Amino acid sequence: MFDALPIPDPTTALVAWVVVLGACVVGCVTDLKARRLPNALTLPLWMTGLAFAATTGGVSGFAGAFAASIVLAIPYVILFVGAGGGAGDAKMMAAIGAWLGLSQGVYALVVIALLGGVIGVAWSLCDGSASALFAKLRTMTLGMVGFAHGRLTAGECLAFLPPAGGSARIPYGLAICIGSLAAFGGGLQWHA
């Protein structure tokens, strides 16, 4: 049953994973200290990922890396625009996509997003903002359910998003780092 799960083998992209994990550690430390993932980290990481993909895979490698960077960034761009997430998070995910490509990148995205939610809840419990977080999650869930049942349009659902900048921000570089490490370790374990 689990053999059909698309968990890629990280050893097939070992150089890319080493670069991504190193950058994630730097991003985590930076985000914990300064609460930002700086362009000085994300932009060179993205550009070198695209260059690496072009060098190793030609035009198709570049195209795949560029597509992966878009796919990995989109959820975080939506969070940035609609819910006050950080732009650095979106740029870091784009850079990770450029290095890992679509298969490895989407797997990493899922693990990072899942662990990011867990870390966000844990962070809010530790800093005393859990009740506000759960109220926002309840409101957003009502909006999604209304949309899923056809009672709300996509535009009406925007009213159910929390106001930008109105929530306590967690240093999401921590979640990206832990999620990337877990994705890498999980892939190694899966293929052991």
Spatial contact of 84 and 164, defined as CB atoms under 8 Å apart = yes
* Residue 11 identity: T
Query: What are the residues whose beta carbons fall under 8 Å from the beta carbon of 64, sequence distance 6 or more?
Result: 53, 57, 101, 102
pTM of the model: 0.82
Q: What is the domain partition of the chain in residue ranges?
A: 10-129+168-190
pLDDT at 3: 55
pLDDT band at residue 1 using 50, 70 and 90 as cut-offs: very low
Mean pLDDT, all residues of the chain = 86
pLDDT at 2: 52
What is the rounded distance in angstroms from the CA atom of residue 113 to the CA atom of residue 119? 10
pLDDT band at residue 144 using 50, 70 and 90 as cut-offs: confident
pLDDT band at residue 59 using 50, 70 and 90 as cut-offs: very high
DSSP 14-60: HHHHHHHHHHHHHHHHHHHHHSS--HHHHHHHHHHHHHHHHHHHHHH
